[in-house]
Each structure stands twice: as structure tokens, then as C-alpha cells.
Structure 1
Amino acid sequence: MAARPFAEIELIKKRVLSERVEILIPKGFEVMSEQQMDFNYGSAQSRPSVIYTNSKEASVAFTYTDNAADQDMINMYAETFYKTYTKQFKNAKWFSNGVREINGRKMGYMELMKPELGHEVYTLVFFTDVEGKLLMCTFTCADRQKPEWETVAKQIMGSLRTNG
């Protein structure tokens, strides 16, 4: 299957986490069902709060954690997550990581290709504080789909707006 040109992936504005966050999500992505989340995550503590997916190719997961966070803590979280991921995924291929200002707020991010269930997965993790707690967002797709989704993933990250 040939990669679709980037221009074909339309993004639409969504409000998530009880209107706390506004973000662009690819058109056609639907909220993953509870049953599918149960199948994928069980009752894991790391289970996302909500996942948008087109079911086979790509997904955007939002995890609103109980971890205290504010703008001054984003650099510390970025360093900690990078250390954790480099230990956990020793064979990962790193593209970039750090902290950026997006829509007037500090946002940490990590972009990598990591092994998962026998194949490589392109992963863009980005995070910031929302109402005193850490919000983690994770875009994933199969490695072979990185060419068509990488730019979209970065647009999604760049569109994130919070109400404080």
C-alpha cells in the first residue's frame, strides 16, 4: 500500500479531558472503546484516560496522571522520562527530545522508534501540566507508517492548548 500524501490527512479540533485540553486529531479517528482499552491495557496503572485511533494504523493517547506538575517542573520531567525510556528501551532509535514552548506553555517531548511486540513503533510522547497535574500524550504508529504520520504527529503536538 502506497503512503498517502500528508495533505490527505485532515485534522479537526477536539476538546478532551472534560474540556481542559484542545488539540487537533486526525479526522476519522474515534475514541477507543472501553472493551478495546481493557484488551490492550487491562487494568494497568499506565492505562490512558482516552485514546483516539483509526484502529489499525495510528493512535493518540491521553493520560491525565495524578502526578503533581507545573511549568517549572516540565524540564525535570523531560530529563526523568528520557532517562527512564533510555533504560527501558535500550534498542530504541532516538530522533529528538527536550522541552519546547508551544502556545505559550512549556511542553516536554520525546521522539523515538522503539520495539513493541516484535516490531518497531514510531512514538512521539509530549507532556505538560494541566490544572496542577501532568498530562501525557502519546502518538504511535507502525514504523513503516512513520513517513506519512510523523508530520501529522508533530502538528498534533503543536496544536495542544490547555486552559491552565
Structure 2
Amino acid sequence: MKMEHWDEKIVSMLNGNTGGQPADNYGVIPEEAGPDLTAPVVQIGDEPHTFVETELLDGAMRMLIPQTFKLMSKEMAKRKYPSEHRPSVIYTTSNARINIAINHTMNPLPEDELSDFKKAMIQMLRRTQKLTKWYGDHEFSINGKPVATCEFLTPAVNANLYNLILFASFEDRALMCTFNCTDEELDDWKPVALAMMKSIQFIPQKEGDESHE
């Protein structure tokens, strides 16, 4: 499996700084019951939210996303994710403090190599990111499709950023979905972030359809 340029691709999905090692050890994240995002209203902290099924990657994927989240403009994406390897799809709040980024890469990833891929990505994250806390990682399935996640905090200006990354093989290529928010929103949004990831539906594409980047 080729891992060339993955350092930059991973870092480009985040808003933290590089360098350093986390104080925490590896750990497996236990299953937790999350909110029902299909409910008419989901209370998150002091704010009610309605989640809508949103088509992503030209219809190749669907995900429940808060109705108030909007596609990040290209100008803001360039500022927030300076790397040319920035995610192809980014949904964000009006103040850009909570983000959902999707990147269907061109890197080959057979489904049976997902676990090894996750381990390699974790090693890379721990080597390249200045992590302030490592929550752990987990492997499970969504509608019968194997996926893997990891969760951690990275330092930013005047705050820490919570990151949840989901890895999957889709169309035999690596797919990464990242949720991040500041630690001020962490308690309210952490269970919601995982529930959003678990709402993902992968839509098989017909032969001849264009690839999704």
C-alpha cells in the first residue's frame, strides 16, 4: 500500500499544528448510544437542530447533516485548509467553528486492508500532529460495510480542536470523513459527530460513472 504524501493529506484535513507526541496511549473507543438524528428536532446544547439527508460526492454518498450547515466557500476553504490537498467537500457552521470534511482520495485501498490502513494513519497522525489528547480508535460496520475511526484533540489558537476521522474503502479507494469542533462544543457535539458518521450511506455507482474526488 502506498503511503506517499499521506502526511500532508492527513494534516490538510485538520486545523492543528504539526509536531510533538500525545501523552495518552492507544485505546479502543467503546460503543456509545448516540442521538437519533432522524428525529424532527435534535437538541444539541442550547440549540435545536434538524438533520437532513445530504447527497455528497455527486450522489455517491449520503449523510445526515444539520440543516444549518452550509458548503464552505472556496475562499474560506483556502484560508482554513491552506494545503492544495484540502478536502473536496466541507460543510460548516456560519462561524466556521464546526466542520465536516469529506475526501474521496485517488489512493487505492482494498477493503480487506482497511485495518492496516487505519493503523498506518494513526501512526502517521501521532508522528506529525501535536496531539493534546488521544481518545482512541474503533472499527465497526455501517450497513454491513467495514469502517474505522479515531478521535483526538489538537491545539489551536486559544482553543483545542476535537477531531473525529472515519476511514473507509469506497470504490477501492481511501475515503476520509473528518468532523472537527473546538473544545467548547466538545461535550455537546462529540456524540452527534459519531451519529453523523454512522448515518453515512454508500451508493454504488453504475459502470461508466465519473470517479469522485
> What is the TM-score normalised by the length of structure 2?
0.70
Aligned residue number for residue 88 of structure 2: 49
Q: Give the Cα separation in 2 of the matches to 1:9 and 1:22.
A: 18
Shift of 1:101: 1.2
Deviation at 1:116, TM superposition (A): 2.8
Residue 144 of structure 1 aligns to a residue whose secondary structure is coil
Q: Distance in 2 between matches of 1:80 and 1:117?
A: 28
Q: What root-mean-square deviation, in Å, do the aligned CA atoms of Structure 1 and Structure 2 show?
A: 1.9
Detail structure 1 runs of 4+ shifted over 6 Å in the superposition.
none
State how far apart, in whole Å, the 1-side matches of 2:110 and 2:157 are.
Answer: 34
Please give the alpha-carbon distance, in whole angstroms, between the structure 1 residues aligned to 2:162 and 2:79: 21
Give unpaired runs (5+ residues) of structure 2: 1-42, 205-213
Give matches, 1:124-163, under 5 Å: 124-163=164-203
**Matched letter for residue 137 of structure 1:** C
The runs of 5 or more residues in structure 1 that have no matched partner are none
- Distance in structure 2 (CA, Å) of the matches to 1:79 and 1:10: 35
Cα-to-partner distance string for 1:107-128 (whole Å, 9 max, x where unaligned): 1111111113453101100021
Q: 1:7 to 1:55 in 2, by over 3 A?
A: closer
Alpha carbons of 1:46 and 1:98: their partners in 2 closer, same or farther (altered >3 Å)? Answer: farther
Match of residue 93, structure 1, among 133, 149, 162: 133
User: 2:126 matched to 1:79?
Assistant: no
Contact (CA 8 Å) 1:23, 1:156: kept in 2 or not? Answer: yes
Q: How many residues get paired?
A: 161
* Structure 1 or 2: more helix by fraction: 1
Give the Cα–Cα distance (whole angstroms) in 1 for the partners of residues 44 and 144 of structure 2.
32
CA distance in 2, matches of 1:101, 1:154: 13
Paired letter, 1:162: F
